[in-house]
Amino acid sequence: MYKTQTNKTDPKSSVITRYSPANEYAYTLQEANLLYWGSSLLGFTYLFIHHFISQASEKPPFVIPELCFVDMGVAASGNNVANTSSLCRTYLVEELIDTDSEDFVKFVHNGNAVPLLAPEDPLYDIAQFLCFTQRIQYFKTDGAVFLLDLQGVL
């Protein structure tokens, strides 16, 4: 995990450095926790949708997209010197997204729960679905949380 150290007297000479091992570990775990909760929140949304459909008299006249977060994990390396271990580096390891064959798409604007895609775009229905999931998350958590920055590859 990296940070930018800005030189206040000469901003052009700013450098990118790593956090200390302890801070890097803490920030990486925080990021992994956010990804875990985001994935859980999306799973909760699908449970809500499927429960609602199971109670309905008929199936919806459209296909519900099956989307997911990338899989991820945390890897840590350390030294084992004189029977003590010390943390060297921590890494957030994420599933590789193959972007060679597909375009990376940003579906929903961060500051506005509306699709960024035009209605004639073939992926517009997915963008609308993602806006719908934000509304479910917002209302089912009493306004406490919903996912932003909805983007990816199909």
Residue 98 domain-assigned? yes
Domain presence at residue 3: no
**Is residue 25 domain-resident?**
yes
Q: Which domain holds residue 85?
A: 20-152
- Round to the nearest angstrom and report the end-to-end CA distance of the chain: 27
The answer to the question of residue 4 being in a domain is: no
Domain-located, residue 1 = no
For residues 138 and 154, what is the distance between their CA atoms, to the nearest angstrom?
Answer: 25
Question: What three-state secondary structure class fits 151?
Answer: strand
Along the 154 residues of the chain, how does pLDDT read in single tens digits?
777 777 777 777 788 888 888 899 999 999 999 999 999 999 999 999 999 999 999 999 989 999 888 889 999 888 766 655 677 889 999 988 776 766 778 898 887 888 999 999 999 999 999 999 999 999 999 999 888 877 777 6
- The total number of structural domains in the chain stands at 1
Domain assignment present for residue 6? The answer is: no
User: Is 8 a member of any domain?
Assistant: no
